[in-house]
Amino acid sequence: MNRLKISLIILLLAFGQGVWAQEQDILAKLEEIAIVDHKVMMPMRDGIRLATDIYRPKGDEPVPIIFSRTPYNFNSYRDGELVSRTMEAAYEAVQRGYAYVVQNERGRFFSEGEWDILGTPLTDGYDAMTWMAEQEWSNGKIGTLGCSSTAEWQMAVAAMNHPAHAAMVPQGYGAGVGRIGDYYEQGNWYRGGAGQMLFTAWLYGTQHDPMAPRLPEGIEQEDLQRLQRFYDMAPRYPKVDWVEGLAHLPVQDIIKNVNGPKSIYEEMITRKPNDPAWYEGGLYHDDMDFGVPSFWFVSWYDVASSPNLALYNHVRENASEEEIRNNQFLVIAPTLHCAFKRATENTIVGERSVGDARLDYDEMIYGWFDFWLKGEENNVTSGMPKVKYFTMGSNKWQTSDTWPPKEADMTTYYLNSGGKANTRLGDGQLSTQKATDDKPDSFVYDPMDPVMSYGGNVCCTGNAVNGGAFDQQEMELNENILVYTSEPFGEGVEISGFIESKLYLSSDVKDTDLTIKIIDVYPDGRAYNLDETIQRVRYREGYEKEVFMEKGKVYEVNMTPMSTSNYFDKGHRVRIEVSSSNFPRFDRNLNTGGNNYDETEGVVATNKIHHSEEYPSSICLPIVRR
């Protein structure tokens, strides 16, 4: 064996020993200050028990609780090795005087019962809080904390207003947002009535196959503590190339096609945007009350920034109690999904640098909990801005009392062209003046040759889509993308808020999609995407009904609003791209007017965007004037 191989082996062994020592070290540190109680089987009202790990300070003093409830595997051992991630979070909480409680949702890993994403009983969260509040080591106050699927359950449980639920910190929480105003997201399953494909890839590696082995119900905690050391209940799914995997038709068979687990996906894919099933589970809808002071965290390049912001505003305006309405705070970061703490001195999101986007999130969050759970007079609610948001382009944190900022003035830009807006080399323009004559721009949408996603506000699609801001110049040479660009700004312009858009469409098919993307164009031609959305045209009159098109007739289509905060420096231009696909961020409309999810053949559409006095296709931008 040569010296290089020997050196590599020594290095790997040393690294492994270092990791093992580090993990043993955090366990030893934790056991010095905490009582560690793994696999407590917490009973729900129907007799189902949920696996729970509890870390609480030593001593007799009752303490507040930070509660994290998750579908993910938090077992302290993986493949027989101790892992430290949960223990590190627990150590941080315990040393600050909190009990840290992490629990699996029903049907996940060691928890009993059957799991149903977005359909987990609301009573599970309520019952868990009741159990914790009654423990002698609890001071009766609970704060909930988590990102993504660990946040999604918090909003609907907050509507139940449990007396112990004193504060919450939901982060990247779009998967828990059902219907909020114009948004019928149904937990990120839809956008504008088109399916978001993130759940297809995510469920492949998350859902439990009902035929997979499970532990018997009623097993004792002592046995669970022993078993957890060598059996973590986590299936190991083979990796899938989702670039190819998500292209399979019919959509309902995508997971089946890659030999994935059988579970709830095949049922969920058949639901329409307003299906009654969406209102029976754990999603929050805008006809529900809200009863908890909340510190919300949103990302500009997350999958659901707009509906998340709409929910924040909804709670501030509609919670029944004034104290709750007045104690909603928000941070909006320029990061990907749940990547708040990954910001650096030079934060790169996709390809674009947004500068130093760091915040001391731990101090902010624990300051919030210290106020609400411990009663510390730390000036949190009086000294913190209602909204702290990051403006890209100027690359700085700003504050506001509202979202959007009160200074935002909605300014309309109209689409215009001589009928040749195809590609960035065409004649598409954005102007504050309406077009006079209707010279529609035509493009072809072939579902078997869609416009592919490139960057964007996305998560959880495996290797199929990389999220963030990417230079769109090459994409904009596609003849099936219409491009409309403003004149260069004569002075710097900040656009912060919701972005509304209205397009007038005619087509030769019964149904199709419209997509739109907003872009910051630099003087050197770089074109960075800011946000994007889609609308399935059959739902243009609402999600309670499907209304199909007549060939050649012009229809008004209001797109679901986008959001951003971006500074367009002098010489920059604002641009939009319009097409009928953004795949695989969103599923393809096969243009037939059929179910879409069970179809394998599509129809090629010729779509036209109209712009004139009669058909004023436009985009409305929230320009902040200070």
Measuring CA to CA, which residue among 159, 195, 174 is closest to residue 268? 195
**Tokens of residue 590, six digits:** 């096969």
pTM of the predicted model as reported, rounded to 2 decimal places: 0.94
Token pair belonging to 305: 């920034």
Please name which of 570, 580, 452 lies closest in space to residue 505, comparing C-alpha atoms: 580
Beta-strand pair 165-171/294-301: parallel
Closest by CA position to 416, among listed 280, 609, 611, 236: 611
Size (the chain), residues: 626
- Give residue 297's pLDDT: 98
Nearest partner of 30 among 67, 68, 85, judged by Cα: 85
Q: With the CA atoms of 116, 119, 120 and 122 taken in that order, what torsion angle do they form, in degrees rounded to the nearest 10?
A: 180
Rounded CA separation 179/251 (Å): 24
Question: What's the average pLDDT block by block, 10 residues per block, for the chain (626 residues)?
Answer: 48 43 74 95 96 96 97 88 90 97 95 86 94 98 96 95 98 96 94 96 88 88 92 89 98 96 92 94 95 98 97 98 98 97 97 97 97 95 95 98 97 98 98 94 98 96 96 98 98 98 98 98 98 98 97 97 98 98 98 98 98 97 92
d(CA 429, CA 576): 9
pLDDT on residue 367: 97
Q: Which positions ≥6 away from 348 have C-beta within 8 Å?
A: 354
On the question of a cis peptide bond just before residue 447, with omega within 30 degrees of 0, the verdict is no
Tokens matching residue 247: 């292209």
In a 13 Å sphere around the CA of 12, the CA atoms on its Cβ side amount to 6
Pairing between strand 138-147 and 165-171? parallel
Query: What sign has the CA pseudo-torsion 210, 215, 220, 226?
Result: negative
Q: What is the DSSP string of 384-410?
A: S-SEEEEEBTTTEEEEESSSS-TTEEE
Pairing outcome for strands 605-610 and 573-579: unpaired
Q: What's the rounded Cα separation, in Å, for the pair 188 and 196?
A: 7
How crowded is residue 253: how many other Cβ atoms within 10 Å of its Cβ?
A: 16
> CA-CA distance, 390 to 356, in Å (whole number)?
10
Q: Are 174 and 552 in contact (CB under 8 A)?
A: no
Cβ atoms within 10 Å, residue 32: 11
Indicate the helix (H) or strand (E) that contains 26. Answer: helix 3-33
